[in-house]
Amino acid sequence: MKQIKYKSTRGGQKNISPSQAIIQGIASDGGLFVPEEMPKLEYSLEKLKDMNYQKLAYTIMQHFLTDFTEDELRECVNKAYDTKFDTPKIAPVVKKDGVYFLELFHGPTLAFKDMALSILPYLLKTAAKKLNIEKEIVILTATSGDTGKAALEGFANVEGTKIIVFFPQDGVSEIQKRQMTTQTGNNTYVIGIEGNFDDAQNGVKEIFGDKEFNKKLNENNYMLSSANSINIGRLVPQVVYYFYAYFQMVKEKEISLGDIFNVVVPTGNFGNILAAYYAKQMGLPVGKLICASNDNKVLYDFFNTGKYDKDREFILTISPSMDILISSNLERLIFKIAGEDTNKTKELMETLKVKGNYEITNEMKERLGDFYGGFATQEETLKRIKELFEKTGYLIDTHTAVAYAVYKDYVSKTKDMTKTVIASTASPYKFTTSVMGAIDKKYKDYSDFELIEKMNELTKKDIPKGIKDIDKRPILHNKVCKKNDMKKVVEEIL
């Protein structure tokens, strides 16, 4: 296996081992770590097609994490993808209405974040051991709803770590909030902020970039790391499930090995669709990467105009995990389409920070041919939930429905009938008010928690154990702070 090293998109670090990149999370110059060269698949698709999830995860991830021994990586994989998922398939593909829904919500927190955050604690611990780090690792994370709970679940009671999660107090669903505020674990801390997700994310980035503060932490035997999707240890595990989806379609004889398929991903922070792009770069026959946005359509505008502009109204929608105006992971794609020019990438990111927007060159625009940007309004999203349920009896959440609506629009505009996988990123049980309201107005007077029972009656499917009786669990975290006090809160905790 060819040794892969990592470098910063902004040029400040290079020749970094996978373990070091995972531990650091973000590069010292504020850039993101990317492979110095994209690994190419060392096996034929034929050889991979019959592997179960665990075996495939090991096989794909070993291409990126080349300083992990076989035993180390297999142990991480086996500890991550076990009975905490409610199906041995881990991420099944379900065909409805001619499209293939890749169900990424069978983990403990009912969202796709479990796919990577189940393994990240083990990758981090292994990396720390390899690098002889004996400091306590402090995981600092901002969440728009799902990352936080999945990270808390992954790191709770993991020795040698603490996890601090900031979330927008009024920017997540009631069920998402309850999932986080009832989290057990003597090393877990959950704080609501008066602001939106971008405020939380910016606050976290500032803490990472504060050299004085980090020096102080170091003196007290702490080191910061991140569980956000900017960490390469989060991104690499996500590459796996696109291969897995493809091989499931091959097994079901929906496509033949080697056929092209399209992928639709409901996207806020861009990491999930970037993983599909990485899978394509490795050798998976992906056709179009269809990037689906909600009313916060900063990515839609970017793909259609080449201009990224975050200075716009921030809209709280029924798909809150996508209510994001700064898509951190887009920097990795910008770096790629800039011909890996670190100066250009740095310049664009600085412009974004100072002016709130940037525009890519025509040459860069031409390199975006793999992508298609679409968006769906909240009305269209609700309409598609109802339509799919009435047609097939299959219930999707508000994020998956954004992707489904964008896919329908894409087909009607392009007439492209390529077989397509939709990344189904959360269980409808996480967004009961919006989903049940889409099905029938009669549900509007019920609480989120009452609607869990109503959804159970409607679908005849078991209530996932991750939220069963969640309204009866004690609230263990109730701290709220102003967005400018985040660093102070971290100091108090440590």
Q: Which amino acid is at 373?
A: G
Q: Which residues contact 93 (CB under 8 A, 6 or more apart)?
A: 100, 101, 102, 103, 245, 248, 249, 252, 421
Length of the chain measured in residues: 494
113 flagged as catalytic: yes
Q: Give me the phi and psi of 182, to 5 degrees please.
A: -100, 10
Distances (CA, A) of 245 to 68, 104, 189, 264, 441: 26, 10, 35, 12, 35
Q: Catalytic residue among 7, 113, 297, 310, which? A: 113
Closest among 319, 129, 118 to 227, alpha carbons compared: 118
Annotate 94-129 with DSSP letters as a single string.
Answer: EEETTEEEEE---STTSBTHHHHHTTHHHHHHHHHH
Q: Could you identify the residue written with the tokens 């990126």?
A: 64
Beta bridge partners of 138: 162, 224
Q: How many Å apart are CA 161 and CA 14, to the nearest integer?
A: 27
Q: How many Å apart are CA 25 and CA 226, to the nearest integer?
A: 5
| Token output for 290 | 């269809």
* Cα angle: 416, vertex 418, 422; to 5 degrees: 105
Beta 6-8 vs 33-35: how paired, if at all?
antiparallel
Beta 93-96 vs 99-103: how paired, if at all?
antiparallel
24 CB-side CA count, 13 A: 21
Helix (H, G, I), strand (E, B) or coil at 416: coil
Beta strand spans in 203-260 (E): 222-225
Which residues belong to the active site?
Answer: 113
